[in-house]
């Protein structure tokens, strides 16, 4: 059975999709943009945008029974490969037990004039 999940701590989706779906113990997040839940604004710069994306993803994970410690795979969509090193500088601080598998995809444009979007696949541990 597929569960369609949400989080009250992130901005509402910009389209027709759930914040995450879960099949068994596997959680798939939708891509998160660096939108502030309060203002819906996108902060300036890759460092601030990465922090906001990771904060949004943390809310999706925690609100649905998991955490960064259980992330198996991430995909980062970024509009300039020169920004990847700065992204990685922030990204790596969220993982303490080694890093998940990751794919980086160069895109020409993202919604809300964001510099990046990130999605994750995580295990939801049993209680």
CATH code: domain of residue 86: 3.30.1330.40
Structural domain of residue 66, as residue ranges?
A: 2-123
Instruction: Please tell me the chain's helix, strand, coil percentages from 3-state DSSP, rounded to the nearest 5.
Output: 30, 30, 45
Measured distance CA(107)–CA(70) in Å, rounded: 27
Q: Could you identify the residue written with the tokens 């997040």?
A: 29
Nearest residue to 33 via CA among 19, 68, 22: 19
DSSP secondary structure of 43-85:
PSSHHHHHHHHHHHHHHHHHHTT--GGGEEEEEEEES-GGGHH
Grouped pLDDT means (10 residues each) for the chain, 127 residues:
94 89 98 93 97 98 98 99 98 96 98 97 93
For the chain, the distance separating the N- and C-terminal CA atoms, rounded to the nearest angstrom, is: 19
pTM of the predicted structure, to 2 decimals = 0.95
pLDDT at residue 56, as a whole number = 98
pLDDT for res 40: 87
Name the domain count of the chain: 1
């Amino acid at each position: 059975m597929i569960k369609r999940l949400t989080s009250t701590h992130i901005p509402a989706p910009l389209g027709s999709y759930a914040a995450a779906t879960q099949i068994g113990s596997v959680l798939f997040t939708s891509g998160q943009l660096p939108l502030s839940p309060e203002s819906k604004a996108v902060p300036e710069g890759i460092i601030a945008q990465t922090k906001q994306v990771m904060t949004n993803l943390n809310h999706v994970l925690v609100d649905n029974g998991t955490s960064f410690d259980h992330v198996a795979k991430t995909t980062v969509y970024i509009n300039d490969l020169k920004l990847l090193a700065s992204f990685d500088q922030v990204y790596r601080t969220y993982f303490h037990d080694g890093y998940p598998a990751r794919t980086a995809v160069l895109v020409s444009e993202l919604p809300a004039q964001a510099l990046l979007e990130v999605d994750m696949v995580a295990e939801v541990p049993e209680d």
